[in-house]
Structure 1
Amino acid sequence: MNLQQFRFVRETIRRNFNLTEAARTLYTSQPGVSKSIIEFEDELGIKIFERHGKRLKGLTKPGVAVAAVIDRIMREVDNLKKVSDEFAQRDEGALVIACTHTQARYLLPKVIPAFRKRFPKVHVSLAEGNPEHLARLVLHEQADLAIATETLADTPGLVALPVYSWEHTLVVPPDHPLTSLTSSAARHLTLEHLAQYPIVTYDRAFSGRRAIDAAFEEAGIVPDIVLEAIDADVVKTYADIGLGIGIIAGMAFDPRRDKSLVGMPAGHLFGQHTTSVAIKRGVFLRDYVYVLLEMLAPELTRDRVADVIAPATAAVRQVA
């Protein structure tokens, strides 16, 4: 057995058992991948993959165990490469941050400039998507870390660390009927008030949307959600033209910038939420990744992060 066989098995699983896609990703031929996997199975004396004719359909029971071992081995191989890079070039390399649009637009601009000033030779890339996609990027080591509000803490293999807490904000044009309320009365806005108007808010995968739906459902109210979007800028745009009340993450509203809108806090309606940063358990992190984490949240020190991402028997861990 050899590392090339391990790579072929791992990539085949990642590509949903599509040998052609696995071969393309690994820059080799499909017959070569197939032959190598069969030779590996023969050497082990077990079948790793369920087959239907020549097509792979899934993992056998022993294949599940083999895949877990291969994943651990390849993770350590990747870690060895990272250790080498770390000591050869401590202050240069690449950093891929998987994040939602909200984090890319409103959180990271407060951090990236300082990070780039400290590490000018590190190339930073942002990979945007929905939280489930971001989690997969980190699990497959296509991103160093992910930042989002949903899903990350529920993903086996990831450690989710809190970065900041936030609440929703309502945004409406200045002439909207809700603006007639005083700032103190805004705290007493009810779901019944909101249900009188169309609503524009996030797609169900983003920024506390589940909490919005749960609040209305618990109150027995069916809101008139006329438009869903994946980022706050789009929600604000349609609220501004009067399509409906916008419900966005509080950090996405700044009265100095969003001068055409009025913002009203809605934490009492939809609760408090936590945005987390997720890292794959057992992965080796370059020094500059630890620095970025501490820039995101001062309590995310190197010692704390190193401790919680160390391999453990638990599949997933949410750190308070």
Structure 2
Amino acid sequence: MNFQQLRTVREAIRKGFNLTDAANVLCTSQSGVSRQIRELEEELGVEIFERYGKRLIGLTPPGRDIAQIIDRLLVEQENLRGAASDHFGLITGQLDIATTHAVARYLLPPVLAAFSAQYPQVKLGLHQASPAQVAQMVRDGVADLGFVNEHLYRQSPSDLVLFKAFSWSHCLIVPVGHPLLKEPQLTLAQVAAYPIITYDECMTGRAQINQAFYEHGLTPNVVLTALDSDIIKAYVEVGLGIGIIAEMAYSPDRDQAIACLNQTRLTLPNTAYLALRRGAFMRGYALSLIHSILPDIPVAKLKRAIEVGNHHADLQAV
């Protein structure tokens, strides 16, 4: 048994049991992938994958258990390398962050600028995705940390550790000269009378927007959805509808074709949660970045929480 066999099994699963795709990731041939899998199965004495002819179509019952163990072993392999580097004071490496557009565009720039000034030898990788994709990237080890939404937090996934990171409100944007700009006291009923452009259902904050309308017995007339604020603003500018976006996405200097109406009292606040893989070893520079986002939690407590899987609310007992 060797780590190459373990990585081969993991990639075959990640690529939806497509051996050609797995081979491309591993820089080998499809026959090489098949051989590595067969050799591991023969050594363990069980079949990890279900097959239809020569194709892999799923995991066997023991294969599902083995896949979880393989993930843990490969995580620990990376942890060993990181621990050794930290021991020798090597402040070099790569830190991969998975996030939604709003967090990457409007909240992280000052945080990452300060981090890069402190750790110039650490390369940063930003992976923009939906909250569900962000969570999967963290689970798969593609990202060291990520930012997810309230929906995932409520699910309390046992394989992730989640901390409340950023909070913000929504604002309503309209074309310059729009009738709503003349309303002294804006209501959701007035907003619901117009076509609305806002975030896709999968994005952070959309659930709070829906809830605000439904609690008032209203159904918003959503005519267009998008994954990021810049797209929403572009379509509001051309008059397709009025927009609901994160407040930090609006800039009066930059967005001169649209106007912003403060909507903080109309919808619930939004929260982005920092997601980390439970049990992952975090390099010293990674802990430093996390602590800059969560300054009220001592680094020792953060490290312990990640190791044992405690969430933000549990830290008093850590």
Deviation at 1:264? 2.3
Q: What number of residue pairs does the alignment pair up?
A: 311
**Residue type of the alignment partner of 1:243:** L
Name the CA distance, whole Å, in 1 between partners of 2:11 and 2:56.
13
Aligned to 2:281: 284
Counterpart Cα distance in 1 of 2:42 and 2:114: 53
Report 1:151-300 matches (<5 A): 152-153=152-153, 154=155, 155-182=157-184, 185-186=185-186, 189-190=187-188, 192-300=189-297
Contact 1:293 1:300 in 2 (8 A): no
Stretch of structure 1 that moved more, 257-266 or 129-138: 257-266
Deviation at 1:229, TM superposition (A): 1.5
- Aligned residue for 1:138, secondary structure, equals helix
* Deviation for aligned residue 1:86: 2.4
User: What amino acid is aligned across from residue 57 of structure 2 in structure 1?
Assistant: K
Tell me the C-alpha RMSD between the 2 structures.
Answer: 2.1
1:34 matches 2:34:
yes
TM-score (norm 1): 0.89
2:295 is equivalent to residue 319 of structure 1: no
Secondary structure of 1:123's counterpart equals strand
- Tell me the TM-score normalized by structure 2: 0.90
1:77-119 residue CA offsets vs partner (Å, 9 max, x unmatched): 1111111222345322211111111111110122122111111
User: 3-state DSSP class of the match of 2:166?
Assistant: strand
Partner of 2:105: 105
Any conservation in 2 of the 1:195–1:221 contact (CA below 8 Å)?
Answer: yes
> Higher mean Cα deviation, 230-239 or 294-303?
294-303
In structure 1, what is the Cα distance between the partners aligned to 2:190 and 2:301?
45
- Once the two structures are overlaid, the 10-residue window that deviates more, 210-219 or 8-17, is 210-219
Say which SS state the counterpart of residue 111 (structure 1) adopts.
helix
Query: Which residues of structure 2 form unaligned runs of 5+?
Result: 314-318
For 2:274 and 2:217, the matched residues in 1 are separated by: 34
Higher alpha-carbon deviation: 31-40 or 99-108: 31-40
Partner secondary structure for residue 255 of structure 2: coil
**Structure 2 counterpart of 1:2:** 2
* SS state at 1:106 partner: helix
1:37-72 per-position Cα deviation (integer Å, ceiling 9, x unaligned): 222222222221111111111111111111111111
Structure 1 segments unaligned to the other structure (5+ residues): none
Aligned with 2:266: secondary structure? Answer: helix
